Structures are given as C-alpha cells and as structure tokens.
Amino acid sequence: MSSLIQTLPKAELHIHIEGSLEPEMMFTLAQRNGIELPYASVAEIQAAYQFENLQSFLDLYYAGAQVLQTEQDFYDLTWAYLQKCAAQTVRHTEIFFDPQTHTDRGLPFEIVCNGITAALQAGREQLNVSSHLILCFLRHLSADDAMATLEQALPYQDRIIGVGLDSSELGHPPSKFQAVFDRARAEGFLTVAHAGEEGPPEYIWEALKLLKVSRIDHGVRCVEDPALVDYLGEHQIPLTVCPLSNVKLCVFDTMADHNLKTLLDQGLCVTVNSDDPAYFGGYLNENFEAIQTALALTDADLTQLAQNSFRAAFLSAADQQRLAIG
C-alpha cells in the first residue's frame, strides 16, 4: 500500500454499516443468535460474492443482515468498522444505516439506533474517529413506508444528521420520495441520495431538483449528460464514488474503465468511498489503492480526493480543516 494513501487523513461519506458485516462476524452472530446460515464456511460465503448487478448483491446483503438481532450486534458491527477507520487514517465517517431492513423483521428502531450510536460515541472517545449517522430509506419499498420510518426517527434526531435513499435504483426514481424528503428537510435533516449508479442521468437531476440533496451517492452515470456534468462542476455538488463497488456490480467492466479520473479532471468534487466493504473486497484505502493503480493517479490527485472528502462532509469549515490536517 502506498504510504501516501495510508497516511493521508481522509473522510468516508458513503458506507452502509450493514455492508461492513464481514463473513467471520456473520458466522459469529448467527451462532450467537441461533440462526442457520445457508453457508458452511467463510470460504463458501466469499465464493457466493459474485455479482452481476446491484440487485444480485442486494439479495445477499439483505439476507446477511438477518443475523443482526440485538443492540450488542449493532454495536459490534459498528465498532469493527470504526477500528478499520482508525487503522486507515479515516478521521471522519458518515455512516448509512437501513432501519427498514431491520424493523420489517420485527426489530425495534431503538435497538438498531442505540447499538450503532453507542459505538459511534465510543469511536469518538477511544479512537478519535469523528462521525455522523445518515438514515437511508429503501427505495424498493413504498413512500408511505419511508414516511413512517422518518416519523420513527424524529425522537432520535439529535443522533441522525440526514436522510438518504438506497436499494434497487431502476424503476424507483427519486421523484417517488419527494414528499418524504420535503418533510425530512422541514424537520431539519440534511439530504443525500443514491442516483446514477445503475439509473440514468435523469435520476440525478431529480435528486438535485426534487429532493434538493447536498451530495449524490455514486453519480457516475452523469457523464452521459454533458449539461449535468457542467451543473455538478459549477455547483460543486459532491459525488461519493465507490470504485470497488462499481466494478463488483458491473457498472464498469474493469477498474481501468472507471471514469473517476475523468470526472476529477473535469473539476467535479469527486470523493472515494467503500460502499459495502465486506462484500466488495476492501475498505477505504483498498479503494484508493485500486484506482491509483488502474487509473495512474498522481500524488496530487490523491491529495485532491482526500481534500474533497472533507469539503463534502457535513462538518463546519473549522472541523473540516482540523480533521484534514489530522
């Protein structure tokens, strides 16, 4: 691993905490909670992680999340990820969680939220990792379901900085959630949304214009609309790009085909992120390493990407500066 990648202070802005569930922990939690897994070994799980598209990944990701049952499970999951952050010089992280994945199978919202936020607090105190929490609505479920989830989150607003939109993109445009996002913003939440991962540039426009998001998660299909690229550059709307994810989910055939460097060279506020590190082959530094090698990124590119991650974070200018200096 290049020493610059290792030592650069970085922020991560696109990580689904359920996507940091490593196969070893999946086994431990399954055993702890008396759940039978359809796999006999860690190697068998790893062998199953061959995806053709987003949906083929999501099917395994939602199945894996079933082993999470108790507040301690959510704590352990989050703590393991924060230890990775500390080891990789990730000074700040903005974590997504998918409450509907858990409340739909009968877990109380409170269990999920308490476990994650207790670990985040311990991470601040014991690991010096700064963090925020973002609630993502599952877009394959209804807007009414999302609205009910938002209402469940209101008592926890001091611990949740924003809301986002994830899960199956195609057929579920941002416009479906306009009223939910209007309400979320009125309640004081910041907003982000996955758009332009598999979906067309129109979904990115909808996220910007209808959901009024501060950042676009993925957004790599913006290149198909030059006016959109201009807009993203002019307004410096951050894109939280996830290179290993994009190749694993066949958004790009190989890492050498990835458009991250093109977008960076066009002056867009591109950031690097891991998305679901336990499923896609690496945490933040492994994503940096993969693009540095495949796209011949310079030290100046790497430094720019790290700087962008703090500029795009939901932090005051003073905190951005403090954390970026490390």
Residue ranges of the annotated binding site are 14, 16, 194, 275-276
Please tell me the distance from the alpha carbon of residue 59 to that of residue 40, in angstroms, as a whole number: 19
* Cβ proximity to Zn ion, 76 vs 275, nearer residue: 275
Is-catalytic flag, 110?
Answer: no
271, two tokens: 């950031």
215 contact choice in ligand ADE, Zn ion, none (CB below 5 to 8 Å, kind-dependent): none
Using CB under 6 A as the binding rule, the residues of this chain from 238 to 267 that contact ligand ADE are: 245
CA–CA separation, 184 and 149 (whole Å)? 11
Nearest to 12 by CA among 95, 136, 134: 95
Among 71, 76, 166, 301, binds ligand ADE (CB under 6 A): 166
Annotated catalytic residue: which of 197, 198, 234, 289? Answer: 197
Least distance between ligand ADE and beta carbon 163 (Å): 14
221 touches which of Zn ion, ligand ADE, none (CB within 5 to 8 A by kind)?
Answer: none
> CA torsion angle for 316, 321, 322, 323 (degrees, to 10)?
90
* 89 versus 168: smaller Cβ distance to ligand ADE: 168
Does 12 sit near Zn ion (CB under 5 A)? no
Exposure letters 172-192 (e unless 16+ CB within 10 A, then b):
bbbebbbebbebbbeeebbbb
CB 12 within 8 Å of CB 85: yes
Report the nearest approach of ligand ADE to the CB of residue 269 (Å): 20
Largest Cα–Cα separation, the chain: 53
Nearest-approach distance from CB 164 to Zn ion, in angstroms: 8
CB–CB of 193/176 below 8 Å?
no
Question: Applying CB under 6 A, does 197 fall inside the site for ligand ADE?
Answer: yes
Residue count at the site for ligand ADE (CB under 6 A)? 11
In the complex with ligand ADE, which residue's Cβ is closer, 84 or 139? 139
Question: Based on CB atoms, which residue is closest to Zn ion, 73 or 275?
Answer: 275
Cβ atoms of 11 and 309 closer than 8 Å:
yes
Q: Could you tell me which residues are annotated as the binding site for Zn(2+)?
A: 14, 16, 194, 275
Question: What DSSP string runs through 129-158?
Answer: -EEEEEEEEETTS-HHHHHHHHHHHGGGGG
By the rule CB under 6 A, 294 interacts with ligand ADE = no
Q: Least distance (Å) from Zn ion to the CB of residue 36?
A: 28
Distance of CA 43 to CAs 46, 55, 279, Å? 5, 22, 13
Query: Cβ contacts of residue 300 below 8 Å, gap of 6+?
Result: none
C-beta of 242 vs 268, nearer to ligand ADE: 242
Binding partner selected for residue 73 from ligand ADE, Zn ion, none, CB under the kind-specific 5 to 8 Å limit: none
Rule CB under 6 A: is residue 275 a binding residue for ligand ADE? yes
Residues 245-304 contacting Zn ion, CB under 5 A: 275
Rank residues 80 and 86 by Cβ distance to ligand ADE and give the closer one: 80
- Establish if 54 lies at the interface with ligand ADE (CB under 6 A): yes
User: Residue 126 is which amino acid?
Assistant: Q
Q: How far is the CB of 3 from ligand ADE (least distance, A)?
A: 29
Long-range contacts of 314-317 (CB under 8 A, 24+ apart): 314/94, 314/132, 314/161, 314/162, 314/190, 314/214, 315/11, 315/92, 315/130
Interface ranges with ligand ADE (CB under 6 A): 16, 19, 54, 61, 166-167, 194, 197, 245, 275-276
- Where in the sequence numbering do the catalytic residues fall? 197
Interface ranges with Zn ion (CB under 5 A): 275
